[in-house]
Structure 1
């Protein structure tokens, strides 16, 4: 499941680092890399992600994932880790505008033999909404986003704080604290159980409403390996909260503690 926030500042820091290394090497650089109306900055790559089989699961699986980060003209940013943002404010400290993200679902194989055929599988969905953030310093910012399922009633709201940690040599890294809530339909989509499902599982039905869903802490790092390449590492610990953690799906068949790790290799064009 993707994170709900704006573009990752650590990737921007990595881009700046590569430009700095290019200058040190005496090579020509893209003079318009930071101009939103000029040529784009694009990082492409791929890697492996180890993540919970479904939101709240007690087991994990590995999957190949693309790694894309693109700063496009007109203040548009596209990222496989943070979705799409269109910055309509683009001031020195305030940023905000349109926001979109892709949300993982769950299929029968991921549910496992105890739940498949009883608990609903969930297709992936596209969420659209808006975001607003404030940069206190170059290193520290806070923000929020609100999005809505484009093919359903689910709504999601997020608060986050991001801090760029001091570099260790060429290693650029950051930490982010994030809280997320859901409305009732979204909460029931992931954590609810109908009376029929509950009877087949031998647990109580669960019909949660809106409220806190999770809090997470993420560590992100980039280590360049050349003027244009580098490794990306993301480690995210998530704790499900309140009605999400109390769901019989999580208490009897899953775990409120969730860990996701991603390792990817990227190339900057």
Structure 2
């Protein structure tokens, strides 16, 4: 089992917290907050585009302002802070941590350049067209790991089965620019000679489309557990990569479990 350090947060951008400073005489961070700490274990691809799967684990950390109008959140949401929150519509800043990819992840990657540790920053918007559906879009610019632009769009229908169980499911779509595809799917002449893969110079476009589903259970007031499954079909520049065609698979499956515990606190 390999441990990947991944931080998933629904409202973690404290530097953008000026939106909550409207109350006279209070600091931007003043008020009631929550901190969720937990972990997820999952069976998923060794790397994006791999045909091989392995057991992996990751910590989950989520920080947010108590009393937020958030009605639904997904494990696919990247850490974000709403600068505009009208209940049925939210928009603001979003970010994602990206970790180095190298041959330690899979022997398939021998001879390929290593995308470095870095991240993506940008904006998000989400809307609730009904009481049981959320539409969310994120657009992020890569920093250090790659220099491309990535866009995620998702629709989730959700329903509560009693007071403690929630089920949700919906489609996902990802698109990216050529700089992103070049970092993760491109193979230049030097990489081709070192890896044995055919050369490949990708353009931009649709990355993948798929479906995801979750079941979450509030075991106690502060302990939340869940199971999830996701399928994505690589498309366009990702599917055409020699890495995917010669060593990987267009079909990406992932199943896992989660558990988080919430700590409540107040900042003056």
The question of a shared fold, defined as TM-score above 0.5 by the shorter chain, is answered with: yes
Residue 137 of structure 1 pairs with residue 130 of structure 2? yes
Q: 1:130 to 1:75 in 2, by over 3 A?
A: farther
Alignment of 1:49-198 (within 5 A): 49-72=42-65, 82-112=77-107, 114-116=108-110, 118-151=111-144, 152-167=146-161, 170-198=164-192
Residue aligned with 2:32, SS: coil
- Cα-to-partner distance string for 1:91-144 (whole Å, 9 max, x where unaligned): 0222101111123442221121x432x112223321100011211122212121
Superposition CA RMSD, Å: 3.1
List per-residue Cα deviations over 1:217-255 (Å, max 9, x = no partner): 111121232333232222111111111011110011001
Q: Secondary structure of the residue that 2:249 maps to in structure 1?
A: coil
* Alignment correspondent of 1:253: 247
Match of 2:87, SS state, is coil
Q: Deviations over 1:63-114 (max 9, x none)?
A: 22112233226969999753321211100222101111123442221121x4
Q: Partners in 2 of 1:66 and 1:222 — Cα distance?
A: 17
Normalised to the residue count of structure 2, the TM-score between the two structures is 0.78
- 8 Å CA contact 2:10–2:64 kept in 1: the answer is no
Moved over 3 A (4+): 5-8, 73-81, 199-203
What count of residue pairs does the alignment treat as equivalent?
239
Preserved CA contact (<8 Å) 2:223 2:260: yes
- When normalised by structure 1's length, the TM-score is 0.78
Alpha carbons of 1:144 and 1:216: their partners in 2 closer, same or farther (altered >3 Å)?
same
For residue 205 of structure 2, the aligned residue among 188, 201, 211 is: 211
